[in-house]
Amino acid sequence: MSDTVRPREEVSIADVAERAGVSVATVSRVLNGHTNVREATREKVRQAVAASGYRINELARNLRTAESRLLLTMVPDFGNPFYAAIVRGIDSVARQNGYFMLLCDTGADPLRERSYFDLLRGRRADGAICLDPAAVQKALAEEASTLPWVACCEFDPSAGVPYVGIDNHLAAGDVVRYLTAKGHRKIALINSGQGYLYGQQRLAGFRDALADAGIEPHPAWLVELDSLDYDAGERAAAQLAALGEARPTAAFAVSDTLAIGVMNGFRGAGYAVPDDVAVVGFDDIAVAAHVDPPLTTVSQPMQLLGETAAGLLLKRLRDPRAEVPGVLLPHRLIQRRSA
């Protein structure tokens, strides 16, 4: 047992003031680095702080200053590695600006999302970045329109909420053009349901590009899943493989996890990738380069997406009535061996 610094019960600023023989105002000034305190006094206070093991109660400070310097990031499922780099981007600019970024897993559940928004309403966080599906954002957008938040990746352009994302319509078109340039005309789309805006946009981009190439897609080549699981992709591929003659020669999955499942599914059905079927994914998550064959995929500028989102939010926080634009960032098709 040492008798050095050990916090007793709940030391307050008044205790420190008493100990240092000054007023609480002076202690507060020292704590906040105000310059108008004599060096000698400043030192006395420092001593008292150290000796008492005092820690400022930020709850009290926040109540007074009416800000928490906490930012929330809401993701539908942080088990999805896609979000990792985005969140890192958010985190880094938040930290650079003196904010903490805390992550919330909403499970894409509107109720849970709402409960996190309540942290904003209750002034316990200063702002939020929401990556939830557009559909669940929509449920809140109206009542939450006065709250300081921005949308990332998923957004409703008409909601009046600042957002950042990519041009999914264009990206899907790029994939189709890449595939048709390689001679494919029988191209399947493995999509993940319409709750996500990106699903709708990529479907549209897929369709439009196909139409531009004068290709009429077989209805069975449009598969809508309600999952991003490997298994779901695998089942979709099995289903596609069972088409026999009408089997597609290329498959575009809207996520890498799905694409990896698709590759497995085709392999299981006796088809080789890319020789029998080409497979393209989306996102370029870490494992994409390390499956066999390495996955051709669309890469999003994830870090930048996050940084931009955080930037928009901070701007909105600084000036609540500033015009904050929606921004679209460029994607890139990464060619590997699967297509």
Positions that interact with a second copy (CB under 8 A): 6-7, 55-63, 68, 70, 72, 77-79, 81, 84-85, 87-88, 91, 95, 100, 102-105, 112, 115-116, 119, 121-124, 146, 229-231, 234, 257, 260-261, 264, 267, 286-287, 289-292
Q: Which stretch binds DNA (CB under 7 A): 15-23, 187-195, 261-269, 324-332?
A: 15-23
Residue 154 DSSP one-character state: S
The distance from CA 198 to its chain's CA centroid, rounded to whole angstroms, is: 13
Residue of 18, 28, 332, 334 that binds DNA (CB under 7 A) = 28
Distance CA 166, CA 170 (A): 9
Cβ proximity to a second copy, 34 vs 95, nearer residue: 95
Segment (H or E) for 327? strand 327-329
Q: Are 148 and 72 in contact (CB under 8 A)?
A: no
Q: How far is the CB of 173 from DNA (least distance, A)?
A: 51
Of 50 and 60, the one with the shorter C-beta distance to DNA is 60
Q: How far is the CB of 19 from DNA (least distance, A)?
A: 12
In the complex, least distance from residue 173 CB atom to a second copy, rounded to whole angstroms: 29
* Choices 8-16, 126-134, 277-285, 287-295; region in contact with DNA by CB under 7 A: 8-16
**Whether 130 contacts 150, CB under 8 Å:** yes
Q: Which is nearer to a second copy, 22 or 70 (CB)?
A: 70
Q: Is 290 in the site for DNA (CB under 7 A)?
A: no
Both tokens of residue 233? Answer: 């992709």
Stretch that binds DNA, among 21-29, 79-87, 131-139, 231-239 (CB under 7 A): 21-29
CA 172 from centre of chain: 20
69 makes contact with DNA (CB under 7 A):
no
Q: Which is nearer to DNA, 57 or 96 (CB)?
A: 57
Place of tokens 């942290």: 119
Cα–Cα distance for residue pair 189/17, rounded to 1 Å: 68
Q: What gap in Å lies between CA 250 and CA 279, rounded to an integer?
A: 6
We find the least distance from the C-beta atom of residue 68 to DNA, in angstroms, to be: 13
Tokens found for residue 308: 């931009």
Q: Does residue 41 bind DNA (CB under 7 A)?
A: yes
CB neighbours (10 Å) of residue 52?
19
Residue 299: HSE in the Cβ half-sphere, 13 Å Cα cutoff = 17
Tokens representing 61 are 């400070």
Query: Cα–Cα distance between 90 and 73 in angstroms, integer?
Result: 8
Tokens of 265: 């599914």
Residue 92 sits in the site that holds DNA (CB under 7 A): no
Selected binder of DNA within 1, 5, 66, 181 (CB under 7 A): 66
Residues forming contacts to DNA in the complex (CB under 7 A) are: 10, 12-14, 21-26, 28-29, 31-32, 35-38, 40-42, 54, 56-57, 60-61, 63-66
